[in-house]
Structure 1
Amino acid sequence: MVCKLSTRLMNICVASFCKVQQLEKAEAVIVDAIRLGTLPDVVTYNTLVAAYCRFVDLDAGYSVLHRMREADIYPNVVTYNSLIAGASNHCLLSRCLDLFDEMIKMGIPPDVWSYNTLMHCFFRLGKPEEANKVFQDIVTSKLSPCSTTFNTMLNGLCKNGYTANALMLFRSLQRHGFIPQLLTYNILIDGLCKSGWLRAARTILKELGKSGLSPNANTYTTVMKYCFRARQFEEGIEVFHEMKDKGYTYDAFAYCTVSSAFAKTGRLEEAYRCFELMVEKGIELDIVSYNILVNMYCIEGRLEEVYDLLYEIEEAGLKCDQYTHTTLIDGLCRAGNIDGALKHLKYMDTLGFDSNLVAYNCMVDRLCKAGYTNNALKIFETMEVKDCITYTSLVHNLCKERRFLHASKLLQACLNRGMKVRRPTQRVVVKGLHRSGLYSEARMLQSKIRVAKFCTD
């Protein structure tokens, strides 16, 4: 009895050291225990296998098996599950399959966790069909799939672009008596949101509310975030109020997301109220929060207060990033202070950022909208880095001024660089060339567009 208790105490010590990644001390505990006459068991070695696989590498974990054989201790399904998990974490599919086969040859029957891990590995490597075969093996075998099995399947389908299949599987499981957990709902809601199926995500959210489970802050924040990304501001704000009514505590991200949405819809009073709530809750403003405030001040034309805010940012020990300066440049342009915006753009070039592309794109677009297209073209020529947004902005504004030939040349240069331009913009340029009587140029552009489409497909 004493020996049994001692082995258990040793295993607790080994597990504790492994959790804090002190593997040398865990090994020292085993050495001292053996010296005192307490021998390790399969639990001891399984703990080491899992720790070495997680914190060192798979080979280190596998080497423990040789020590087990020397101690006349046989590995079990837990041992191999840890090894398969280690291989899966490093996306070593061939090793996963080899370990799976080795386990069967040794007469160790795989359990549901063995299959779950293998299925997860297939999904991580973008092999959903193989993962589905593993899932079918679980269903048709004598093993009983657990909630983790279904969650892994739903999550993998969503992440591999099979959201419709995930939703159908979810409905099928419900019909067969499966009771989803909160994690299951969150996985499905996240997958639906990422696929742009916001209405379906809201439906699942309502079902969650009726299921007896309570949505958590992560559930609401996910739906809210993707509503705002899809510019469905009212729906996102509705989710925010629902979250608030439920009494959930928000983090800085949630407050910033909502205040930014209020600002974009012109509801500045509510946006400022969000910041007041942040301060009341004791949440410290970070640079993202300050950037939203800078944007709100610029929208209202409170440029003098913006400079006070920049000083406040420095006093708080934070550093203005590219978006802070870009927002100020945009605000100066909106206020008609083009010279001030150009000076700040030059000042921004001295700050050593990796790329000021966003600021330059903003400057080009604002100059065009203010009627200074030629100035925008001069800045465009000086830009070392350009993207499709740069070209699209100029092409769009040149078309507004009926300078279709120039717009066509820029569009062709963009296509030659392998960049994508929205089809409506392409059609506007082609139609403009036709209306201007530039038929050969229109045919040439259409040919370039077809070649570019063929290369990208």
Structure 2
Amino acid sequence: MTVLFSTELIPHGLPFNPQQLKPASNSSSHHTPLVSCLSHESSKDIIRNSRNNQKTWVSAETKPTHPLSFDFKESHLMKLLNRSCKAGKYNEAFYFLECMVAKGYKPDVVLCTKMIKGFFNGRNIEKATRVMEILEKHGEPDVFAYNALISGFCKMNRLDFANKVLDRMRTRGFSPDVVTYNIMIGSLCSRGKLDSAYKVLNKLLKDNCKPSVITYTILIEATILQGGIEEAMKLLDEMLTTGLRPDMFTYNAIIRGMCKDGLVDRAFEFGKWVEGEKLVSEMVSKGCESNVVTYSILISCLCREGKVEEAVNVLKTMKERGLTPDAYSYDPLISAFCKEGRLDLAIEFLDYMISDGCLPDIVNYNTILSTLWDKFKALEMILEMLSKRIGPDEITYNSLISCLCRDGMVDEAIELLVDMGRSRVQPTVISYNIVLLGLCKVHRIDDAIEVLAAMVEKGSSRTKQLTYC
């Protein structure tokens, strides 16, 4: 068999000898240990021979964890292989795979595909490649197995190997499908190689393989990031001419791109968000209902532009259409109210959010806590968080420490800093900065120096980021 990749790039595992699995034919039930029955010279010969005969060695890494009987049938090995794959023990599964082929059994393509994915998830390129080589030599690989190998190489940023697998598929009589090309295009787009992604698209078309909605959506998202919304709209038109119907992911990408390119500003000059409404109406007319993500994008964009009232109207429209807003829908509004100093409205929206059946997350609470000046309200909100089993994070602690320092309660802030160090959330440079600034403001310079020394001793040596007074 032709080796899939050069051994200089990917060294193969040690050879496997099936003879090792066969028990001695004349073994008795009661016997003396082998070494004790040998003379000193015989022992040396055995050791010397075992060192020379490397084919009888099997890596301990791949040995199974449960006791084995060496008189395996194909069904037994298949069950053990399947069980190991389900348990995520892919090294053990690889051992059973080698046992199967050593006995002349045909490997199962589905389990081999699962092993390839598992080894790539564990960043073990060598084993993933060996599984494919075994499958090619002793079994029947399919497009799904090759796609798993291509996907793995793409995730490991080895596009050169992915292209080699693509060529090998063709030489072995397999035609890459749209999933194969989508994997390649997605990998190239995620690395900013849009030109190369379009070359793969052209190759897809030459192979008489029809692109899917996913193909175009991937390219539209990448084009928006690198070329702008106008180029993406051309791609959308091309997609429509092929007879493909955009789905909500496609439309959401376009809406996000329009917001990114400032089309909201131009539309609002006419007193109405024409482009956005037109696009949402088009989605509905084509049978593609806008979802929570669609409206959340619009709300976030409007809040960034300072058009909070319009964002509230979008939230109302969303609810009128029977959609339930989530934490991502409410957070831009809460954040916008906090930035405008309308803290009462932010808290009111948080309460409305809870009454509407949407549980707030840590981001929603932190947004309000970061602007609260009243330590009692801050503590009340933290207690509310804890009652909902939402644990505080670094931002929560820093907000409360800042609130205490502003009220001159620096000793309490230091106690909270110490408690923070005992919890799973460790204090950062920002946490120490807040306390140091609080101490300096009340002219406790000696205490500030002690806190600084404690910080350096703890390992946060980035003192250049500290606030000095």
Give the equivalent residue in structure 2 for 1:292: 399
Distance 1:216 1:57 in 2: 38
Give the equivalent residue in structure 2 for 1:368: none
Matched, 1:27 2:129: yes
Which of 329, 341, 344 pairs up with 2:448? 344
Give the equivalent residue in structure 2 for 1:355: 464
Change (3 A) 1:26 1:317: closer
Rg: which structure is higher? 2
Deviation at 1:23, TM superposition (A): 4.5
Q: Which amino acid aligns with 1:175?
A: S
Q: Compute the TM-score of the two structures, normalised by the length of structure 2.
A: 0.65
Deviation at 1:20, TM superposition (A): 5.2
Deviation at 1:341, TM superposition (A): 5.4
Distance 1:75 1:234 in 2: 58
Distance 1:205 1:341 in 2: 50
Matched, 1:272 2:379: yes
Report Cα offsets for 1:401-424 as digits up to 9, x if no partner. Answer: xxxxxxxxxxxxxxxxxxxxxxxx
| Unmatched segments (≥5 aa) in structure 1 | 364-457
Q: Which structure features the higher share of helix residues? A: 1
Give the equivalent residue in structure 1 for 2:55: none
Q: How does 1:55-454 map to 2 (within 5 A)?
A: 55-164=156-265, 168-176=274-282, 177=285, 178-261=288-371, 263-264=372-373, 266=374, 268-316=375-423, 319-332=426-439, 337=442, 339-340=443-444, 344=448, 348=452, 351=456, 352-356=461-465, 359-360=467-468, 363=469
Distance 1:324 1:13 in 2: 45
Seq. identity, %: 26
| Unmatched segments (≥5 aa) in structure 2 | 1-104, 268-272
Give the equivalent residue in structure 1 for 2:4: none
Change (3 A) 1:164 1:81: farther
CA contact (8 A) 2:229 2:254 kept: no
Q: Which amino acid aligns with 1:32?
A: I
Distance 1:114 1:26 in 2: 26
Deviation at 1:5, TM superposition (A): 11
Distance 1:203 1:296 in 2: 33
SS of 1:355's equivalent in the other structure is helix
Q: Which amino acid aligns with 1:298?
A: C
CA contact (8 A) 1:217 1:248 kept: yes
Distance 2:164 2:302 in 1: 43
Q: Compute the TM-score of the two structures, normalised by the length of structure 1.
A: 0.67
CA contact (8 A) 1:126 1:160 kept: no
Change (3 A) 1:61 1:331: same
Distance 2:258 2:120 in 1: 33
Report Cα offsets for 1:364-410 as digits up to 9, x if no partner. Answer: xxxxxxxxxxxxxxxxxxxxxxxxxxxxxxxxxxxxxxxxxxxxxxx
Distance 2:175 2:405 in 1: 70
Give the equivalent residue in structure 1 for 2:37: none
Distance 2:393 2:114 in 1: 42
Change (3 A) 1:245 1:71: same
Deviation at 1:87, TM superposition (A): 0.9
Distance 2:163 2:181 in 1: 9
CA contact (8 A) 2:439 2:447 kept: no
Deviation at 1:121, TM superposition (A): 1.5
Q: Which amino acid aligns with 1:278?
A: M
Distance 1:323 1:44 in 2: 49
Change (3 A) 1:342 1:131: farther
Give the equivalent residue in structure 1 for 2:51: none
Distance 1:6 1:307 in 2: 62
Q: Which amino acid aligns with 1:254?
A: N
Q: Which amino acid aligns with 1:290?
A: Y
Report Cα offsets for 1:317-361 as digits up to 9, x if no partner. Answer: 765444334434554566xx3x3259737964984434346x34x
Change (3 A) 1:345 1:102: same
Report Cα offsets for 1:163-201 as digits up to 9, x if no partner. Answer: 457954431133332420122222222333333332222
Q: Which amino acid aligns with 1:70?
A: T
Distance 1:314 1:111 in 2: 52
Distance 2:323 2:278 in 1: 20
Deviation at 1:89, TM superposition (A): 0.8
The structure showing larger relative contact order (alpha-carbon pairs under 8 Å, at least 6 residues apart) is 2
Change (3 A) 1:24 1:183: farther
Report Cα offsets for 1:117-145 as digits up to 9, x if no partner. Answer: 22121112243321121112223432222
Q: Which amino acid aligns with 1:30?
A: M
Q: Which amino acid aligns with 2:444?
A: G
Q: Which amino acid aligns with 1:279?
A: L
Change (3 A) 1:318 1:19: closer
Distance 1:84 1:317 in 2: 41
Q: Which runs of 4+ in 1 moved over 6 A?
A: none
SS of 1:214's equivalent in the other structure is coil
Q: Which amino acid aligns with 2:244?
A: L
Distance 2:151 2:425 in 1: 41
Give the equivalent residue in structure 2 for 1:453: none
Distance 1:150 1:100 in 2: 21
Distance 1:282 1:111 in 2: 43
RMSD in angstroms over aligned alpha carbons?
3.3
Change (3 A) 1:10 1:234: same
Give the equivalent residue in structure 1 for 2:69: none
Distance 1:15 1:318 in 2: 34
Q: Which amino acid aligns with 1:308?
A: E
